[in-house]
Amino acid sequence: MMDEFFEIESVGLPKGSQGKGRRIPQEWANTAMLLEVAQSFWIQLEDEFQKSSQVALRQMLHRRTKDSPEIRFSFRKEIKDGEVGMRIYRVEDEYHEQT
């Protein structure tokens, strides 16, 4: 039914959580841009920020490579020496190669 909505409440963010967006280091994207196809690097992450860091890095790299669609990356959660992290791979763009 179209007239059913969720209840809207005037509940703001708890104190201390406003403006606490996590920024990823520019060095992550800078390093990724140096990768050749079939190379990768690993970043140690706090497990609770693994997914948000992955998304933020994807967005940053997308902005940097929007004029170079042949530059592609893959991201995977990886545990290395007992530490949670993310491995960033530079991968071949099979679609760009076919054109």
- pLDDT computed for residue 74 by the predictor: 92
Chunk the chain into consecutive blocks of 10 residues (it has 99) and report each block's average pLDDT, rounded to whole numbers.
74 65 82 94 80 86 90 91 92 69
Chain centre distance of CA 37: 19
- pLDDT computed for residue 14 by the predictor: 74
- pLDDT computed for residue 84 by the predictor: 87
- pLDDT computed for residue 90 by the predictor: 94
- Nearest CA among 97, 30, 93, 85 for reference residue 60: 30
Q: How far apart are CA 61 and CA 44, in angstroms?
A: 18
- pLDDT computed for residue 25 by the predictor: 86
The whole-model pTM stands at 0.69
> Which tokens hold the place of 46?
């706090």
Neighbours of 56 (CB within 10 A): 17
> Which tokens hold the place of 13?
């963010």
- pLDDT computed for residue 40 by the predictor: 96
> Is residue 62 a contact partner of residue 69, using CB atoms and an 8 Å limit?
no
